[in-house]
Structure 1
């Protein structure tokens, strides 16, 4: 059963295992679907089932995903699910050696690139959504002057708010209230900069 806790990736081997483009996509798809087989995921990423199975096993070897309870009658198919509520990466876990710093930065860039690609696809298809969804979508940039402590507090409050909405949506989804419900991506970046 998926843990209701967040998983903090703090070791280099797990970070490297997660830092593969296809594995990130598979993890995201598995997170959205909650449970899926390699065949179902392979269809979504347009890759061979054997390749997807290999990458799922690598994610499982590092405890990022786990086998799920069998969902159908076909006992030959393995079902997978995320092993935790969310994954977290923290800079301080990878700042004590050059290889760790470089790997953390590379994985961060890959995550960002995938976020950008997801948003580009949304922009390209925005007119195919109903006016209600187009109106509900948003994009904003806020520029504030904060201390490190204030930024940390803001981030914590935002995570708590998003958690409440996500939990409410999942509970309603599991209760069968799926009418009008879609997958929603919310990407937040908060970082200091100098102009």
Structure 2
């Protein structure tokens, strides 16, 4: 998983349309701007602009090998996951601002996805209603223990990532966050 350490790259991620495009490419794989426009409700020209921004940041790349003719332009994510740490931008005010914006956008996107799920008919129907989960808890951990917990959760997610499509498999969004807090 590539670790973003460049504020300009992180700034490219910290935009709602670009974040949504990354999500679609991550879940559905390589795609063309017209398909991405339908998936995101954006105009093709707007999607093309945002794809160029993501490509300039090195987050996506063109996939000419998928085109059937010269008119088709395909894009893909070379790495399906990206990450960053606010600690990598501690000495850079612009980097900290980009990291804060990216984290806020992440949280907003997570809340949006959870709200959409909870408001959907599928959230009240089997088999998904019995399979979906929500968990939280207050733990007493040191910073090192919290980092280890995060690494273990990421290992579990990585173990399930990249499974091939199957009739009973749907894209599933999983959230894991841990931070100091008081009830």
Task: Find the aligned partners of 1:74 and 1:129 in 2 and give their Cα distance.
Answer: 44
User: How many residue pairs were aligned?
Assistant: 183
The reply to whether residue 91 of structure 1 matches residue 79 of structure 2 is: no
- Equivalent of residue 64 in structure 1, options 55, 59, 65: 59
Unaligned runs of 5+ in 2: none
Question: Does the residue aligned with 2:71 lie in a helix, a strand or coil?
Answer: coil
Any conservation in 2 of the 1:18–1:24 contact (CA below 8 Å)? yes
Any conservation in 2 of the 1:126–1:134 contact (CA below 8 Å)? no
Please state how far the C-alpha of 1:67 moved relative to its aligned partner: 1.3
Please state how far the C-alpha of 1:165 moved relative to its aligned partner: 1.1
Unaligned runs of 5+ in 1: 1-5
- After superposition, give the CA deviation of every residue in 1:16-60 in whole Å (9 maximum; x if it has no partner): 111111000001011111110100000111111111011001100
Please state how far the C-alpha of 1:130 moved relative to its aligned partner: 3.6
- Equivalent of residue 152 in structure 1, options 147, 158, 169: 147
Task: Find the aligned partners of 1:129 and 1:81 in 2 and give their Cα distance.
Answer: 34
- Other-structure match for 2:170: 182
Please state how far the C-alpha of 1:85 moved relative to its aligned partner: 3.1
Any conservation in 2 of the 1:37–1:77 contact (CA below 8 Å)? yes
Question: Does the residue aligned with 2:76 lie in a helix, a strand or coil?
Answer: strand
Question: Does the residue aligned with 1:36 lie in a helix, a strand or coil?
Answer: coil
Question: Where is the strand percentage greater, Structure 1 or Structure 2?
Answer: 1
- After superposition, give the CA deviation of every residue in 1:138-161 in whole Å (9 maximum; x if it has no partner): 111121001111111111111111
The reply to whether residue 27 of structure 1 matches residue 22 of structure 2 is: yes
Any conservation in 1 of the 2:63–2:74 contact (CA below 8 Å)? yes
The reply to whether residue 103 of structure 1 matches residue 91 of structure 2 is: no
- Equivalent of residue 180 in structure 2, options 175, 189, 192: 192
- Other-structure match for 1:47: 42
The reply to whether residue 114 of structure 1 matches residue 114 of structure 2 is: no
CA pair 100-165 structure 1, distance change in 2 beyond 3 A: same
Please state how far the C-alpha of 1:69 moved relative to its aligned partner: 4.5
TM-score by length of 1: 0.88
Alignment RMSD, CA only?
A: 1.6
Question: Does the residue aligned with 1:150 lie in a helix, a strand or coil?
Answer: helix
Please state how far the C-alpha of 1:87 moved relative to its aligned partner: 0.4
